[in-house]
Amino acid sequence: MRLDGKVALITGSASGIGRQTALLFAREGARIAAVDLSSDDNEETAALVRQAGGDVLTLRADVSKAADCQEMVAKTESHFGKLDVMFNNAGVMLSEDGDAVSTDEQVWDLTMAINVKGVFFGCKYGIPALRRAGGGSIINTASFVALVGAATPQLAYTASKGAVLSMTRELAVIHARENIRVNALCPGPLRTELLMKFLDTDEKRNRRLVHVPMGRFGEAEEMAKAVLYLASDESSYVTGTEFMVDGGLTAAYVTPE
């Protein structure tokens, strides 16, 4: 098993990429700290992990709050004895998010608090735990919109994911010689509840799909497989990357330097 003996903390584990990653990690031998703000949905994730034979600890945390993030790491170490993998995956995509003119300050602030500050706090408290374990892997969920503009305006979300990608690169350089790898998962458009709520009309969905060479939305399970590679020792020489899993979208629209 590719994560045998490892302990992984996953934020945003109640649904989507987080849930599918928790299930896949458990099947690959990891013990899971499943963290989410939604306790009921997170317990459903935990039940699925246990059905698959996995060992899981559920924790409730608001990743925009430092104390919550400090506590989730401390409880993971206390329960499992260490932390090897930190998947900073929790995020929001608010339907009120639009262009600079239409987006309210409150929408901007909430998006930044969860999507950017949440990753910062995860790293702030997760990195010392990884040091205590002798090293490990951090995966931060960014997005293809960190590299290209979104066809449907979502300025706060796009800016937040650009920040996550930049933060990932800098942390990767800072901690490279501590046996701590830091990479960004950059999903393309996915058929998840989060995106489908944002793209709430056929027109919006088709506008997004027309840019994807594969012609379909990705699946959360496909993202989980990419996270598994970044979490495992198979990616031992991979750090500071933007790991694109986007159906070819950025290959079609990003101009090489």
**Strand partners of residue 56:** 32
Residue 218: CB atoms within 10 Å: 23
Q: Which amino acid is at 155?
A: L
Quick one: tokens of 100? 């600079």
| Residues identified as active-site | 157
What pLDDT is attached to residue 182?
A: 98
Give the number of C-alpha atoms closer than 13 A to the C-alpha of residue 226, restricted to the C-beta side. 24
Burial of 197 (0-12, 13-18, 19+ CB in 10 A): exposed
pLDDT of residue 214: 86
Going residue by residue through the chain (257 aa), what tens digit of pLDDT does each one get?
999 999 999 999 999 999 999 999 999 999 999 999 999 999 999 999 999 899 999 999 999 999 999 999 999 999 999 999 999 999 999 989 999 999 999 999 999 999 999 999 999 999 999 999 999 999 999 999 999 987 788 999 999 999 999 999 999 999 999 999 999 999 988 887 777 677 777 667 767 677 788 888 899 999 999 999 999 999 999 999 999 999 898 888 765 55
Count H helices and E strands in the chain, helices first: 10, 7
* 125, 69 contact by CB (below 8 A): yes
Residue 56: strand, helix, or coil: strand
Predicted pLDDT at 38: 93
Largest CA distance in the chain: 50
Q: How deeply is 210 buried, as exposed, middle or buried, from its count of CB atoms within 10 A (0-12, 13-18, 19+)?
A: exposed
Res 102: pLDDT: 97
Predicted confidence at residue 2, as pLDDT, reads 97
The pLDDT score that the predictor gives to residue 255 is 58
Residue 212: the pLDDT is: 84
Cα 30 to the center of its chain, rounded Å:
17
Per-residue model confidence (pLDDT) at position 152: 80
Domains with residue ranges and CATH for the chain: 7-243 (3.40.50.720)
